[in-house]
Structure 1
Amino acid sequence: MDLTFTPEEEQFRAELRAWLADNVPPRWRSRSFWSAMPEAAAFELRRDWERRKYDAGFAGISWPREYGGRGGTPGMQAIYDEETQRAGAPHTVNALGLAFLAPTVMAIGTDEQKRDIIGPMLRNEVIWCQGFSEPGAGSDLAALRTGGVLDGDEFVVNGQKVWTTNAVYADKIFALVRTEPGSQRHSGISMLLIDMRSDGVQARPLRQISGASEFGEVFFTDARVKVGDCLGGVGNGWSTAMLLLSFERGASGIVQYTAMRRQFDEIVATAATFGRTGDPILRQQLASRMVELECLRYRSMHVLTQVERGEDLGAGSSVTKLQWSHTHQDLWETFDDLLGPEATLARPRPDTDLRAMQQEAMWSRSVTIWGGSSQVQRNIVAERVLGLPR
């Protein structure tokens, strides 16, 4: 494991850190700033931030230059993830497109798809969402029922997707659709690229217990999609989806570590506000969380070293997913323990606004489900890493 970065990468860090210092207003670093802003306004502010990053040359850090990227190393991408988190910069509004769809299009898209999708996505002109999960087809994605019937050079699509991040704000959706009537399980599925503004497509927000509604559900009613707007070939949707998800599972965990390290400091500050820093039980919990975080940091650097060496992460990426998701939950369970019964109150203390932190604590319950549930990840680790029998 290599814990160092090259001189070129450290020079990139200095350049990025200076730009962030000049362009991230101090008020953006406060959770209360974002929680007090209407969701639509916050989304547009973050979208404008993405455009400014592109104009400054800080978009597509590890993308090839031929696609408008910076052509940087995996180390530069890790530095970017780390420094933007430390600076309190807004989260991207186009994460699913940039992290997963774009590299898939680069790998298997047609020349026309590469031209029409990658550039506008990098410039943040087109926001993408992902249409995989359905009612009755969440963990068992192969049970999907949304269907597309061929009519001339178009598919007529009917069905429903759910738990779609940014559904109400997205311009387009990459969706798994069963395009071979009567097919079962993994066969007969295609990945269609669908305009969210076209006739027959409707997105509705899903309000969560935290009050946020970044999720949505999408309904297709006789929506028409050109055959040419199929990524990876008709009937090859499952293999295309597995390629796309491999980019998600290849993440090193550095961005999660850096974000959680800031969250840890927030929780410690809250403990001081509540006069609990001398509580021996709480101090032990916080010490345990710090140990978990540092273990995640070393794991993240190990994975980054593998990526830089061109090694296949394989099923080992499931270890990273398990590690960071459970560390995240443990961290916010400590926050809930700090608040005690008051954790369920909208305003635990009149003099302290903890709503944004409470929302994060609620959100933490989901991280062991999305991106591959912990049960599924443990099975993968048992069978493909440890070699245990099924």
Structure 2
Amino acid sequence: MDLSFTPAEEEFRRELRAWLGAHIPQEWTRPGFWESVPDDEGFAMRREWEREKALAGFAGIQWPTEYGGRGGTPGMKAIYDEEMVLAHAPRTVNPLGLTFLAPTVMAIGTESQKKEIIGPLLRNEVIWCQGFSEPGAGSDLAALSTRGVRDGDDFVVNGQKVWTTYAVHGDKIFTLVRTQPGSERHRGISMLLIDMHQPGVDARPLKQMSGASEFGEVFFTDARVPASDCLGPIDDGWRTAMRLLSFERGASGTSQYTEFRRQYDEIVEVARTLGRDRDPVVRDRLARVLTELECLRYHAMHVLTQTEQGRDLGFEASMTKLQWSETFQDLWEVFDEVLGDDATLETIDGIDLRALHGQAMWSRSVTIWGGSSQVQRTITAERVLGLPR
């Protein structure tokens, strides 16, 4: 495992840090700022800022230059993830497209799809959503029932998707649809790329308990999709989806560690403000979480080293997803314990808790989406450790 970066990578860090320092307004870094901005206004601000960042050459860090990327190393991508967190940079408005769709299109997309999707996505000209979960198909994704019936050169799609991130802001959606009549489970599924601004596509917001409406549900009613807008082979979408999800589960964990460690320090400050840092039980819980965080850091560096050596992580990606999601959840359980009876307060002694409350509520979901912890443990046991079924 290599814990160092090359001189070229450190020079990239200095360049990126300088750009971020000059282009992130100070007020954006103030606790509670984004919670005080209306959802639509905040989305528009982040979209424009991210477009400017892409035009400055600080997007698609590890993407090939032919696709508008920087052609950087895995180490540069890890530095980018870390510096974005340290600078309190805004969250991306196109996470699903940038992290999952674009690498998949680069790997298996047609030349036309590469040209039409990757550049506009990088510059935030097109916001992409992911349509996987359905009311009756969550962790058991193979139970999906949204159908596409072939009609000439098109598929006519009917069905519903739910928990779709940025559904109300999305321009297009990559979604799993059952396109082979009579098929069941993993067979007969296609990944279709659907224009969300056409008739027959209705996106509705879902308000979360935090008050945000980041998610939505999408209804398809006789929506028409050209058969050429299928990513990967028709009726072989399950294989395409598994390839796409490997990018979600296989990140090194560098950005997660950096963000979680900053949040840990904020939770410790709250504990000190409330005098809970003197409670031996709380101190023990904080120490345990800090240990987990440092284990995550070393695992992230291990994965980064493997990636730099050109190794395909394969099913080991499940280990990364399992580790960071469980660590994140443990971190925010400690936060709830620190607050105790003050858990409903928005501020304590001048500390704005709104962002922390939002993260605490969000933490409950991370062991479900992207493959539940139960699924990841099964994959790790069977396909990494070689244990019997």
Shorter-chain TM-score tier: over 0.9
Instruction: Identify the residue that residue 132 of structure 1 maps to in structure 2.
Output: 132
Render the CA deviation track for 1:82-104: whole Å, top value 9, x for unaligned. Answer: 00001100111101001110011
**Number of positions where the alignment pairs a residue of Structure 1 with one of Structure 2:** 389
State whether residues 190 and 237 of structure 1, in contact with CA within 8 Å, keep that contact through their aligned partners in structure 2: yes
Contact persistence 1:179–1:188 (CA under 8 A) = yes
Shift of 1:274: 1.5
Counterparts in 2 of 1:275-290, with a 5 A limit?
Answer: 275-290=275-290
Q: Which amino acid aligns with 1:360?
A: Q
**Conserved? CA contact 1:282–1:338, under 8 Å:** yes
- Is 2:30 the counterpart of 1:30? yes
Partner of 2:379: 380
Structure 2 equivalent of residue 247 of structure 1? 247
Q: Which moved more, 1:20-29 or 1:224-233?
A: 20-29
Alpha-carbon offset, residue 204 of structure 1: 0.6
Q: Say which is worse superposed, 311-320 or 34-43, in terms of deviation.
A: 311-320
Deviation at residue 312 of structure 1 after TM alignment? 1.7
| Superposed counterparts of 1:154-193, under 5 Å | 154-193=154-193
| Aligned residue number for residue 388 of structure 2 | 389
- CA RMSD in angstroms comes to 1.2
Q: TM-score, normalised by structure 2?
A: 0.98
Partner of 1:368: 367
What does 1:253-264 correspond to in 2, within 5 Å? 253-264=253-264
Report SS of the residue matched to 1:168. helix
Following TM superposition, by how much is the alpha carbon of 1:275 offset from its aligned partner in structure 2, in angstroms?
2.5
2: CA distance between counterparts of 1:214 and 1:81? 22
1:207 equivalenced with 2:207 (yes/no): yes
Q: Give yes or no for contact 1:332–1:361 (8 Å, CA) kept in 2.
A: yes
Runs ≥4 residues deviating over 6 A? none
Secondary structure of the residue aligned to 1:277 is: helix
Cα offsets for 1:164-205 (capped at 9, x unmatched):
111111100001111112111111111110011100000011
Query: What is the Cα deviation at residue 348 of structure 1?
Result: 6.3
What is the identity, as a one-letter code, of the residue corresponding to 1:211? G
Deviation, 1:339, is 0.7
**Aligned-residue offset at 1:315:** 1.9
Once the two structures are superposed, residues 115-174 of structure 1 have per-residue CA deviations (whole angstroms, 9 ceiling, x without a partner) of 110110011100000001111111111111100111111111000001111111110000
Deviation, 1:387, is: 1.7
Name 2:327's counterpart in structure 1. 327
Give the aligned residue type for 2:274.
Answer: F
Corresponding residue number in structure 2 for 1:356: 355
Question: SS at the partner of 1:231?
Answer: coil
* Alpha-carbon distance in 2 for matches of 1:295, 1:26: 32
Structure 1 window deviating more from structure 2 (232-241 vs 23-32): it is: 23-32
Report what 1:82 is aligned to: 82
Determine the C-alpha separation between the residues in 2 that align with 1:316 and 1:112.
32
| Secondary structure of 1:148's aligned partner | strand
Cα distance in 1 for partners of 2:341, 2:13 equals: 43
Kindly indicate whether the alpha-carbon contact (under 8 Å) linking 2:134 and 2:161 is maintained by their aligned counterparts in 1: yes
Please list every run of 5 or more consecutive structure 2 residues that lacks an aligned counterpart in the other structure.
none
Please state how far the C-alpha of 1:6 moved relative to its aligned partner.
0.6
In the alignment, the residues of structure 2 paired with residue 166 and residue 36 of structure 1 have an alpha-carbon distance, to the nearest angstrom, of: 19
Q: How does 1:39-54 map to 2 (within 5 A)?
A: 39-54=39-54
Using structure 1 for the length normalisation, give the TM-score.
0.97
Query: What is the DSSP-based 3-state SS (H/G/I as helix, E as strand, rest coil) of the residue aligned with 1:312?
Result: coil
Contact 1:59–1:122 (8 Å) recurs in 2: yes
- For residue 123 of structure 2, what is the aligned residue in structure 1? 123
**Preserved contact between residue 176 and residue 237 of structure 1 (Cα < 8 Å):** yes
> Any conservation in 1 of the 2:251–2:317 contact (CA below 8 Å)?
yes
1:16 to 2:16 alignment: yes
Asked whether 1:93 is paired with 2:93, we answer: yes
Report if the CA contact (8 A) 2:177-2:190 is conserved. yes
Query: 1:316 and 2:316 equivalent?
Result: yes
SS in 2 for 1:160: strand
3-state SS in 2 of match to 1:32: coil
Q: Which amino acid aligns with 1:39?
A: D
Aligned to 2:298: 298
Q: For 1:186 and 1:329, locate their aligned partners in 2 and report how far apart those are by CA, in whole Å.
A: 31
Give the superposition deviation at 1:353: 2.9
Moved more, 272-281 or 121-130: 272-281
Aligned-pair distance for 1:341? 2.6
Equivalents in 2 of 1:2, 1:106: separation in Å?
28
User: What is the deviation of 1:31?
Assistant: 3.2
Cα distance between partner residues in 2 of 1:326 and 1:249: 13
- Residues 253, 324 of structure 1: 8 Å contact kept: yes
Partner residue in 1 for 2:106: 106
CA contact (8 A) 1:190 1:235 kept: yes
Deviation at 1:111, TM superposition (A): 1.1
Moved more, 125-134 or 271-280: 271-280
Structure 2 residue 275 is matched with structure 1 residue 307: no
Contact 1:60 1:69 survives alignment (8 Å): yes
- Given that 1:342 and 1:348 are in contact with CA atoms closer than 8 Å, whether structure 2 keeps it comes out as no
The alpha carbon displacement at 1:352 in A equals 4.1
Q: Residues 267 and 335 of structure 1 are in contact (CA less than 8 Å); yes or no, is this contact kept in structure 2? A: yes
Listed one character per residue, the Cα deviations across residues 3-31 of structure 1 (whole Å, up to 9, x for unaligned) are 01011001100111111111112222233
